C-alpha cells in the first residue's frame, strides 16, 4: 500500500470511495450522501484542495494483494496557524481491515506536525456512527460540537481534540456553536433549557446528544439536577414524542428524525 497525493483526474474515484464509505457508515439518506459527496469532492473541490498549500490531501493506493491498483482511502487535513485539523477520512468498505485508516490518519497528522501544527483536532460528522470510535482510539476526546452547512444540509460535527486543548475550529470560521437557537420550542430557564409536555416541565441535557439523521436527540429529565430521566427531545422539530425500539434506536413521531445507536459495540475495527 502506498500513501500519496492524488492527481486531479482521480476525482471520480475519490468520490466513489467517499460515497461507498458514507453509505456503509453514515446515518444519512442516499440523497444526503450524494449531495455531500458531490459538493465536497467535486472535480473543482478536489483541484482546489490540491492547489492549497495549507491543505494536506492524501489517498491510499492498494498494491498487488488486490487485483490491479486502486484508491482505497482518502484523508484531508488543513493547517491554520499552529493548529492542524483533520476534516475527512474515508476507507472503501471493500478494503477495510488492512490498516488503511490508521495509515492515513498517521500520515496526515505527521504531515501537519511537520508543517508546524502544535495542536491537532479531528472533526467527525455526528452521522458517522463508526468514525467516532475510530478517532477515540487515538486518545482524542469529544471536546465541542459545531453546526455546519454542507450541500444545503445543516449537520453537526463533533470536534475531537487532545486533552486540555481548546477545540475552537480555525478553518470553520463560518460555523456557529450549537446554541439555544438550535433547540426549537425550548425555553431558557435559570440556565437550563426546558420543554413543557402535558403540563409537566422537563429539562434538556445539552451534554447528552444522540445522533440523528436530521438533528440530534437529547436526553430529558424531570428535575433540574438531571437525575430522573423523562425521555428524549428531538432537536429537529422540538418534539418530545420519541420512541425507542429494542435495539435502542430512537425515532421522532412528529418529523421522522431517526437515530442509529453509537457505542463501543457498534464500532467497526476494520477502520484500523
CA atoms within 13 A on the CB side of 18: 25
Classify residue 15: in a domain, yes or no: yes
Mean of pLDDT over the chain: 83
User: In this structure, what C-alpha cell is assigned to residue 77?
Assistant: 487535513
- For the beta sheet containing 192-197, the strands, ordered from the edge strand earlier in sequence to the opposite edge, are 187-189, 192-197, 200-210, 217-221, 229-234
Rg for the chain (alpha carbons), in Å?
20
Residue 260: what pLDDT? 56
Average pLDDT, integer, range 21-34: 90
Residue 266: what pLDDT? 42
Q: Which of 68, 171, 161, 234 is nearest to 220 (CA)?
A: 234
Is 140 in the same domain as 203?
A: no
Residue 181: what pLDDT? 52
Is 101 in the same domain as 156?
A: yes
Classify residue 269: in a domain, yes or no: no
Range of the domain at 159: 2-178
Of the chain, the percentage scoring pLDDT greater than 90 comes to 47
The answer, as to whether pTM is greater than 0.85, is no
Is 14 in the same domain as 43?
A: yes
Classify residue 268: in a domain, yes or no: no
CATH of the domain at 47: 3.40.630.30
Q: Give residue 178's pLDDT band: very low, low, confident or very high (50, 70, 90).
A: very low
* Last residue in a domain, options 157, 178, 199: 178
Average pLDDT, integer, range 34-63: 93
Residue 272: what pLDDT? 53
- pLDDT higher than threshold 90 for residue 269: no
Q: Classify residue 196 by its DSSP letter.
A: E
- pLDDT higher than threshold 60 for residue 267: no
Residue 175: what pLDDT? 42
Q: What are the distances in angstroms from CA 127 to CA 23, 199, 213?
A: 11, 33, 7
Classify residue 265: in a domain, yes or no: no
CA distance 213 to 32: 10
Average pLDDT, integer, range 29-55: 93
Is 141 in the same domain as 196?
A: no
Classify residue 53: in a domain, yes or no: yes
Residue 194: what pLDDT? 85
Is 114 in the same domain as 147?
A: yes
Is 108 in the same domain as 218?
A: no
Residue 86: what pLDDT? 96
User: In this structure, what C-alpha cell is assigned to residue 34?
Assistant: 450524494
Classify residue 262: in a domain, yes or no: no
Question: How many structural domains does the chain have?
Answer: 2
> Which range, 33-42, 176-185, 204-213, is most confident?
33-42
Is 33 in the same domain as 140?
A: yes
Q: Classify residue 165 by its DSSP letter.
A: -
Is 139 in the same domain as 225?
A: no
Average pLDDT, integer, range 70-90: 94
CA distance 149 to 163: 27
Is 145 in the same domain as 166?
A: yes
Q: How far is CA 198 from the centre of its chain?
A: 35
Classify residue 213: in a domain, yes or no: yes
- pLDDT higher than threshold 90 for residue 46: yes
Is 212 in the same domain as 144?
A: no
Residue 195: what pLDDT? 84
SS3 for 19-87, per residue?
HHHHHHHECCCHHHHHHHHHHHCCHHHHHHHHHCCCEEEEEEECCCCCCCCCEEEEEEEEEECCEEEEE
Amino acid at each position: 500500500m502506498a500513501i500519496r497525493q492524488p492527481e486531479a483526474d482521480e476525482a471520480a474515484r475519490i468520490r466513489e470511495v467517499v460515497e461507498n464509505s458514507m453509505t456503509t457508515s453514515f446515518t444519512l439518506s442516499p440523497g444526503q450522501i450524494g449531495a455531500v459527496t458531490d459538493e465536497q469532492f467535486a472535480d473543482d473541490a478536489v483541484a482546489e484542495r490540491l492547489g492549497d498549500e495549507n491543505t494536506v490531501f492524501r489517498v491510499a493506493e492498494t498494491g498487488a494483494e488486490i487485483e490491479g491498483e486502486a484508491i482505497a482511502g482518502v484523508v484531508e487535513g488543513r493547517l491554520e496557524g499552529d493548529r492542524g485539523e483533520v476534516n475527512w477520512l474515508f476507507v472503501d468498505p471493500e478494503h477495510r481491515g488492512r490498516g488503511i485508516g490508521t495509515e492515513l490518519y498517521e500520515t496526515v497528522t505527521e504531515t501537519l506536525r511537520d508543517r508546524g501544527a502544535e495542536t491537532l483536532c479531528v472533526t467527525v460528522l455526528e452521522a458517522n456512527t463508526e468514525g467516532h470510535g475510530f478517532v477515540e482510539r487515538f486518545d482524542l476526546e469529544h471536546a465541542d460540537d459545531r453546526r455546519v452547512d454542507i450541500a444545503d444540509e445543516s449537520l453537526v460535527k463533533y470536534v475531537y481534540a487532545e486533552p486540555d486543548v481548546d477545540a475552537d475550529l480555525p478553518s470553520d470560521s463560518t460555523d456557529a456553536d450549537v446554541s439555544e437557537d438550535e433547540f426549537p420550542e425550548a425555553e431558557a430557564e435559570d440556565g437550563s433549557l426546558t420543554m413543557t409536555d402535558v403540563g409537566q416541565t422537563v429539562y434538556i441535557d445539552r451534554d447528552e446528544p444522540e445522533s440523528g439523521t436530521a438533528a440530534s436527540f437529547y436526553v430529558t429529565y424531570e428535575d433540574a439536577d438531571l437525575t430522573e430521566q423523562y425521555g428524549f427531545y428531538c432537536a429537529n422539530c422540538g418534539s418530545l414524542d420519541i420512541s425507542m425500539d429494542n435495539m435502542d434506536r430512537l425515532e421522532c413521531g412528529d418529523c421522522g428524525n431517526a437515530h442509529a445507536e453509537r457505542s463501543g459495540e457498534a464500532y467497526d475495527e476494520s477502520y484500523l
